[in-house]
């Protein structure tokens, strides 16, 4: 993968591989996360392979039909056909074997088409296309699912159950308190650096999707847990395990290196079992609970949108539905003739 300071190299008009490489260099220069970049590379390689199977070698040859057929192939109940030398082995007769992956979910199809549309807009902006053939090609309609939310009591049982004094227990209490207190995404809290925390102003600086930075408040309970972790837990992880100089991420693994999302999931599962929380609870459930509890406490949707880092208010409006569901349940429990 090209380094962050590399300028996108000039690429010949219409050569797909060079166009994709230049597009990816643009993502890197814009400071997108490694996970987003890797997913984009995978999706665009798959798109390029699909086009090659149809004899389309240049960006200028891509049609709207190609985009629609790509979407249909991803959703094919029999699976997505692949006949790329890099992905499959030769067939028994010596030619390329056609392999069929399982069909993708509607959410995954929508993500892949979003990446393709972004790439096609890039091609249009750079003169490889007169106009993007992806315009107007819709994504699969996604089912509207209400996010899982814990009650305030369930959150308290979960967080207060993390009460040990070992470095990892102090870290976990601070991490989950911070997610619930500030509504952070899991990756946002893992990306936090020491310089991003301000105890004086009771705020943290979070880098969200698209590397957009926002400043969010932190509650007193979370700040206390974070201060204790930094004072009693983190220093021990750095001193005992880090050999290559101090790591500046706030949350460290048992080896003194930056914590991974898989570590967070694994540790949370342990505390969930202890607290008897509902199945399916995840770090994102704490973020959902943060937003829902704010709304039920009287906060307006626009403020919640800013705190969550949503680019569109439509994304935040799902919490209005969650709150309405909560009110209906409360009504049925409390009213004598409900």
**DSSP-assigned letter for residue 58:** B
Which of 89-103, 109-123, 215-229 is the least confident region? 89-103
Q: What is the CATH number of the domain that holds 173?
A: 1.10.443.10
Q: Which of 112, 171, 293, 310 is catalytic?
A: 310
- Residue 212 within a domain: yes
Q: Are residues 75 and 184 in the same domain?
A: no
* Cβ atoms of 177 and 221 closer than 8 Å: yes
Q: Are residues 57 and 165 in the same domain?
A: no
Q: Are residues 156 and 120 in the same domain?
A: no
Instruction: Note if 284 is an active site residue.
Output: yes
Q: Which of 249, 287, 288, 293 is catalytic?
A: 287
- Residue 48 within a domain: yes
Q: Supply the range of the domain harboring residue 227.
A: 152-282
**Under DSSP, is residue 253 helix (H, G, I), strand (E, B) or coil?**
coil
What is the rounded distance in angstroms from the CA atom of residue 58 to the CA atom of residue 49? Answer: 12
pTM: 0.63
Read off the pLDDT band of 166 (50, 70, 90).
very high
Q: Are residues 118 and 236 in the same domain?
A: no
Torsion-angle region of residue 277: left (phi > 0), alpha (psi -120 to 50) or beta? beta
Q: Are residues 82 and 35 in the same domain?
A: yes
Q: Are residues 50 and 162 in the same domain?
A: no
Q: Are residues 273 and 162 in the same domain?
A: yes
Q: Which of 25, 112, 185, 267 is catalytic?
A: 185
**DSSP-assigned letter for residue 4:** T
Give the end of a domain, one of 125, 143, 174. 125
Which secondary-structure segment (H or E) carries 122?
Answer: helix 106-125
Q: Which of 121, 205, 284, 326 is catalytic?
A: 284
Read off the pLDDT band of 96 (50, 70, 90).
very low
Q: pLDDT tens-digit profile of 230-271? A: 999 998 888 765 555 557 899 999 888 888 888 898 898 888
Q: Which pair of tokens denotes residue 167?
A: 């470095």
Instruction: Note if 287 is an active site residue.
Output: yes
- Residue 119 within a domain: yes
Q: Are residues 109 and 69 in the same domain?
A: yes
Give the end of a domain, one of 90, 125, 160. 125
Q: Which of 209, 214, 228, 241 is catalytic?
A: 209
What is the rounded distance in angstroms from the CA atom of residue 133 to the CA atom of residue 62? Answer: 7
- Residue 140 within a domain: no
Q: Which pair of tokens denotes residue 157?
A: 């049982």
Q: Are residues 156 and 277 in the same domain?
A: yes
Q: Are residues 109 and 163 in the same domain?
A: no
CA atoms in the 13 A half-sphere facing the CB of 281: 23
What is the rounded distance in angstroms from the CA atom of residue 52 to the CA atom of residue 154? Answer: 53
Q: Read off the pLDDT of each residue in 288-300 and give the average, rounded to a whole number.
A: 86
**DSSP-assigned letter for residue 97:** P
Query: How confident is the model at residue 194, as a pLDDT?
Result: 93
Q: Are residues 165 and 235 in the same domain?
A: yes
* Cβ atoms of 286 and 179 closer than 8 Å: yes
Q: Which pair of tokens denotes residue 219?
A: 């509650």
Burial level of 174, CB count in 10 A (0-12/13-18/19+)? buried
Instruction: Note if 32 is an active site residue.
Output: no
Query: How confident is the model at residue 84, as a pLDDT?
Result: 46
Instruction: Note if 185 is an active site residue.
Output: yes
Q: Are residues 73 and 170 in the same domain?
A: no
* Cβ atoms of 213 and 268 closer than 8 Å: no
Q: Which pair of tokens denotes residue 87?
A: 């992905």
Instruction: Note if 310 is an active site residue.
Output: yes
Percent pLDDT > 90 in the chain is 22
Q: Read off the pLDDT of each residue in 79-104 and give the average, rounded to a whole number.
A: 52
What is the rounded distance in angstroms from the CA atom of residue 277 to the CA atom of residue 289? Answer: 13
How many domains does one find in the chain?
Answer: 2
How distant is the alpha carbon of residue 208 from its chain centre? 9
Give the end of a domain, one of 282, 311, 332. 282
**DSSP-assigned letter for residue 234:** I
Q: Which of 104, 180, 271, 319 is catalytic?
A: 319
- Residue 237 within a domain: yes
Instruction: Note if 321 is an active site residue.
Output: no
What is the rounded distance in angstroms from the CA atom of residue 306 to the CA atom of residue 142? Answer: 24
- Residue 319 within a domain: no
């Amino acid at each position: 993968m090209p380094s962050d300071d590399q300028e996108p190299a000039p690429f010949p008009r219409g050569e797909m591989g060079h166009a994709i490489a230049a597009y990816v260099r643009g993502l890197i220069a814009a400071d997108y996360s490694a996970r987003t970049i890797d997913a984009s590379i995978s999706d665009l390689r798959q798109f390029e392979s699909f086009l090659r199977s149809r004899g389309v070698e240049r960006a200028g040859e891509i049609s709207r039909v190609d985009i629609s057929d790509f979407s249909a192939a991803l959703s094919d109940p029999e699976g997505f056909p692949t006949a790329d030398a890099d992905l499959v082995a030769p067939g028994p007769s010596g030619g390329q074997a056609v392999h069929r992956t399982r069909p993708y979910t509607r959410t995954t199809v929508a993500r892949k088409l979003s990446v393709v549309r972004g790439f096609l807009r890039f091609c249009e902006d750079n003169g490889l296309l007169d106009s993007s053939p992806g315009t107007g090609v819709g994504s699969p309609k996604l089912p509207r699912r209400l996010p899982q939310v814990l009650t305030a009591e369930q959150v308290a049982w979960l967080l207060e159950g993390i009460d040990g004094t070992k470095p990892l227990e102090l870290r976990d209490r601070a991490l989950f308190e911070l997610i619930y207190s500030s509504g952070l995404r899991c990756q946002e809290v893992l990306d936090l650096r020491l310089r991003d925390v301000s105890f004086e102003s009771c705020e943290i600086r979070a880098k969200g999707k698209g590397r957009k930075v926002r400043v969010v408040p932190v509650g007193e309970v979370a700040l206390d847990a974070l201060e204790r972790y930094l004072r009693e837990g983190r220093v021990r992880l750095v001193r005992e395990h880090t050999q290559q100089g101090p790591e500046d991420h706030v949350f460290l693994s048992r080896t003194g290196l930056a914590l991974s999302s898989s570590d967070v999931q694994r540790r949370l599962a342990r505390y969930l079992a202890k607290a008897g929380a509902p199945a399916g609870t995840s770090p994102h459930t704490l973020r959902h609970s943060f937003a829902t509890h704010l709304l039920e406490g009287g906060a307006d949707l626009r403020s919640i949108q800013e705190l969550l880092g949503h680019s569109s208010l439509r994304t935040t409006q799902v919490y209005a539905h969650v709150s309405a569901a909560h009110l209906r349940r409360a009504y049925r429990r409390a009213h004598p003739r409900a």
